[in-house]
Amino acid sequence: MATAYATAAAILTAAGYNTPPILEQLSNYILTGLGHDAAGNDNTAKYVHGLTGYNIPLYSATYTLLGITDPPGIEKVGNLVLT
């Protein structure tokens, strides 16, 4: 799994997704069923309406495909990105 963390961190860093608000948004998007409840209502992080130009679904899928869908794993990726 350490390789998956490093891979996700490298992809996100290369794309410029290296600030806490973006990482928090990505994490919340993953952990809230891709950002919407069953009725389709937006229930993502407080930053969602302030972000423009970020492909949150694509980078959420990056985590998910690598098997990083748990808070500790997401936090590890975030720490790698930020250091």
Residue 55 pLDDT greater than 90, yes or no: no
Instruction: Identify the sign of the CA torsion 58, 60, 68, 78.
Output: positive
Higher-pLDDT residue of 78 and 34 is 78
Residue 38 pLDDT greater than 80, yes or no: no
pLDDT at position 49, please? 46
Tokens of 8: 């996700």
Give the mean pLDDT of 11-28: 87
State pTM to two decimals. 0.74
pLDDT at position 47, please? 45
CA nearest to 60, candidates 39, 41, 35, 82: 35
pLDDT at position 46, please? 46
The rounded distance, in Å, linking the Cα atoms of 71 and 74 is 5
